[in-house]
Amino acid sequence: MTHHSEPLPDWVPPLLAWFKRHQRILPWRSEPTPYRVLVSEFMLQQTQVATVIPYFERFMRAFPTLADLAAADQAAVLKQWEGLGYYARARRLQECARMIMAQGGEIPADPAELARLPGIGLYTAAAIASIAFGRSFPVVDGNVLRVRARLLADPADQSRASIKRQVYNDLLAIIRQVDDPSAFNQALMEISALVCQPRQPRCAECPLQNACRAVAEGAATAYPRRPQTKVVPHYHVAVGLIFNGDRLLIMQRSTEQMLGGLWEFPGGKLEQDETPVQAVEREVLEETGLQVQAAPPLALIRHAYSHFRMTMHVCRCTLPDTIGEILSDRPHHWVKREELNAFPFPTANHKIFALPAFVEAFNHD
């Protein structure tokens, strides 16, 4: 039955027309009996169409009917599944067949009933109901979400739990208006597999490009949007303010390093279980050969770079009575406070310069 309560979205007619002409010939598509659709949908969970085809055909030869599958040895079923992976699917498919046989042998057409069977979630239930029985229930998976998010340039986070329900309802309103719900669902799946692919959508040859808002924005792959889940690493760094009279030791970063060529105070990342004081004393010794005594941090500086965040512990250091030569390949200087401006420093260091404790440290020496 066709309803015409609302106009169809402009992408639907070209999608259906494209599917009519360009759909792949698939064994379960050309003969969509409920049993064949059931088996194909189990095989297609987690596996691509091209991989599934030979397995499907072999499986159908081995178990031509639902009754054959239900009566088979589990080992024989697994043998036919061998190489397809995710073997729990094979076991559940057979459980499903046995349960249906126990209930009279008819595969249900109603998605709610289908979803009560082992291994059948909402997606598979809607796929079977629409493809095998022509019922108007939309399929919604990551592929459908991707195509729809692009068509509508929908900025919503597509991983949100509520989005599936919302998209399901939107597509339900559409699928109820089309003449062939099976073709509608399969067309969406087909275009997601052949044209609107995740990384490289073929927009130039896409039948929906005139209706596609993501393409109008010139940003097909900007959709679907996902949350930024990357965890930004956070490092603790300790640096030493080493005074010699009214002069402070600064060193140049090597050009191979990030911020190469800029100047800094000796120091580095805290190692596991190290305190800032221990880290400063170790780093200063490694970088300069000086055996200093560090005081507990006089300040904490927080700074975010593009790929990490850093907390810098700033420790004042006391030199030993006799200062040896500084053992380092890196250029270094003992500078007065007013000379600091002549050297380029990373932003985090400018935060140190602005600290009252830093200014005070100079005045005391």
Query: Which residues are designated catalytic?
Result: 41
Nearer to ligand SF4 (CB atom), residue 49 or residue 284: 49
How far apart are alpha carbons 301 and 178 in whole angstroms?
62
Q: Compute the least distance from the CB of residue 211 to ligand SF4, in Å.
A: 8
Question: Which contacts qualify for 80-84: CB closer than 8 Å, 24 or more apart?
Answer: 80/55, 81/55, 83/55, 84/43, 84/47, 84/51, 84/52, 84/55
Nearer to ligand SF4 (CB atom), residue 212 or residue 239: 212
Q: Compute the least distance from the CB of residue 158 to ligand SF4, in Å.
A: 14
How far apart are alpha carbons 207 and 139 in whole angstroms?
21
Q: Which amino acid is at 101?
A: M
Nearer to ligand SF4 (CB atom), residue 80 or residue 192: 192
Q: Which residues bind ligand SF4 (CB under 6 A)?
A: 147, 150-151, 195-196, 201-203, 206, 208-209, 212, 214-215, 220
Nearer to ligand SF4 (CB atom), residue 208 or residue 314: 208
Nearer to ligand SF4 (CB atom), residue 219 or residue 232: 219
Q: Compute the least distance from the CB of residue 69 to ligand SF4, in Å.
A: 37
- Tokens standing for residue 240: 């030493």
How far apart are alpha carbons 265 and 284 in whole angstroms?
9
CB-CB contact of 128 with 41 (8 Å): yes
Buried b (16+ CB within 10 A) or exposed e, 350-360: ebbeeeeebee
Residue 71 CB-density burial (10 A; 0-12 exposed, 13-18 middle, 19+ buried): middle
Nearer to ligand SF4 (CB atom), residue 69 or residue 211: 211
How far, rounded to the nearest angstrom, does the alpha carbon of residue 359 sit from its chain's CA centroid?
A: 46
Q: Compute the least distance from the CB of residue 220 to ligand SF4, in Å.
A: 4
Nearer to ligand SF4 (CB atom), residue 132 or residue 145: 145
